[in-house]
Amino acid sequence: MRFDSMVNVLGVLAVCSMLLMTAWLVTSGNILSTTIFRSRNGAAQEIELVEASMGPVARPLPLEAFEVKDTFEHRLVVFGDSWSVSQFRHKGQGIAWPEQLCIELSCQVDNFAEVEVPSAGIFSGCVVNNTELRQFQPVEERLRPPLHDLGDQTERWFAGEERIIQNISRNDLELRLNRTTFALSFVLWDLWKFIGKNLSTVDESIRRSIDTIFERLDVLSDRLGSNDLRIILMMSIDPTFLPAFRPWLREQKAIVPLVEDWNQKLVRKAEAWNRGTLFIFDTNRFFLNQIRQWQYSVMGLTDPRELAMNDSPGWENVESPCLPSTRQLVGSIHESCDNPDQYLFWDDMHIGPSAHRKLGSEIYHGIRDLWLI
């Protein structure tokens, strides 16, 4: 039996075991908490289950300590989902946009964004608030530890940062904060979780998630004792343009207004926030502009906004990914395309190396004049 086939078989057995565990827990009304084991990246890890309003759910895995540097010239602190992850990248995937931004800014990156682990076709990416994620998950997915949400990621950063700032003067703290830019980049999974779900409660869920973003920004301000923070805030993308999206018309019509609703609520809330300077980046416009570049080039038309200058990087493909579908069991091995720089998408959920470099550069040009860096 081939190695990848054997991995798939084992993965299926693991999923079946998880489903049996789910059934047992749900039918055992007197169980409030327990522990089970699951394999992640080849290691067995203990999971704590707790009782919630919708039944048993798994807690996130414990936060790992993060070593914050004492000194730096400039730094970018990133909280977000898999569109901003720096680690665990394929050799052909290139650098992520935060690294590109820091190449142009001459800064270091402290990145707390996390990448999802696809298993048995299930996606569970980072979201702003895991409580909202649980409302839309099927029962069996609630037994999988969620990735760390915005609150978890900021607490992990605080744990390292507060060890440093408790021993420095007020002047040194102000200098440290003046050299720090925060980026919040939850652009994908908060809307992806709504696909195929009952949308009757979505409006309130979006409102609560947007409120969570600004509550955490307030916490940043309070715990750092500063009302002069510098924040990059990324708007959400339209997930119906991703290769992973299956274009059933009714779902597409339902999701597109949610993108607009999310981004409008984000902007309105940002306009009222007064504890620093917010640079709001329209990620969706950037994303769609890349597709529009290719379309104008293919049709031989000239875009009056000069978007048809399809020579950098020169997209060959804006529809299918460089890497075959990520909807596969962990352990499956696939080769990437030969020219990833010319694919807009790296896999069916994420942009590729050229798009990341362009994204980082556009953010740089947006904040350069704003913050006089």
Q: What is the CATH number of the domain that holds 206?
A: 3.40.50.1110
Kindly report the backbone phi and psi dihedral angles of residue 150, in degrees, each rounded to the nearest multiple of 5, phi listed first. Answer: -55, -45
Is 37 part of a structural domain of the chain? Answer: no
pLDDT at 178 over 80: yes
Residue 201 CA to its chain's centroid (Å): 22
257-297 pLDDT, tens digit each: 999 999 999 999 999 999 999 999 999 999 999 998 888 77
Instruction: Look up residue 72 and give its amino acid.
Output: F
- Give Cα 292 distance to the centre of its chain: 24
Which range, of 25-39, 179-193, 335-349, averages the lowest pLDDT? 25-39
Does residue 237 belong to any structural domain of this protein? yes
Give the range of the structural domain holding residue 325, as residue numbers without chain letter: 60-371
Residue 34 lies in a domain: no
Amino acid at 158: F
pLDDT of residue 307: 46
pLDDT in tens, 45-96: 566 666 666 666 677 677 788 888 888 889 999 999 999 998 878 888 899 9
Residues 230 and 29: their CA atoms lie apart, in Å, by 48
The answer to the question of residue 216 being in a domain is yes
* Distance (Å, whole) CA 57 – CA 61: 12
Mean pLDDT for 214-222 is 97
Looking at residue 51, its pLDDT comes to 63
Q: Are 235 and 284 in contact (CB under 8 A)?
A: yes
Q: At how many degrees (to 10) do helices 202-224 and 150-165 cross?
A: 0
Question: Is residue 251 predicted with pLDDT exceeding 90?
Answer: no
In a domain, 119, yes or no: yes
| Integer Cα distance of 363 and 300 in angstroms | 29
Mean pLDDT of 128-139: 88
Query: Quick check: 330 and 119 in contact, CB under 8 A?
Result: yes
Amino acid identity of residue 304, one-letter, is P
DSSP H stretches of helix in the chain: 3-27, 97-105, 130-135, 150-165, 170-178, 189-192, 202-224, 249-272, 283-299, 353-371
Q: State yes or no: pLDDT of 188 exceeds 70.
A: yes
Q: Which residues does residue 276 pair with via DSSP β-bridges, in sequence order?
A: 229
Average pLDDT of the chain to the nearest whole number: 80
Identify whether 293 is part of a domain. Answer: yes
51 occurs within a structural domain: no
Is the confidence at residue 358, as pLDDT, over 90? yes
pLDDT at 38: 44
Would you say residue 145 lies in a domain? Answer: yes
Q: Average pLDDT, stretch 223-228?
A: 93
Q: What's the domain count of the chain?
A: 1
**Rounded Cα gap, residues 338 and 92, in angstroms:** 9
Cα 247 to Cα 9, 125, 191, 265, distances in angstroms: 29, 21, 15, 26
Structure tokens at 162: 């507060």
131: CB partners within 8 A, 6+ apart: none
Token pair 């009782």 is at which residue? 51
Burial per residue of 20-59, b for 16 or more beta-carbon CB atoms within 10 angstroms, e otherwise: ebbeebeeeeeeeeeeeebeeeeeeeebebeeeeebbbbe
pLDDT at 35 > cutoff 50: no
The reported pLDDT for the residue numbered 21 is 41
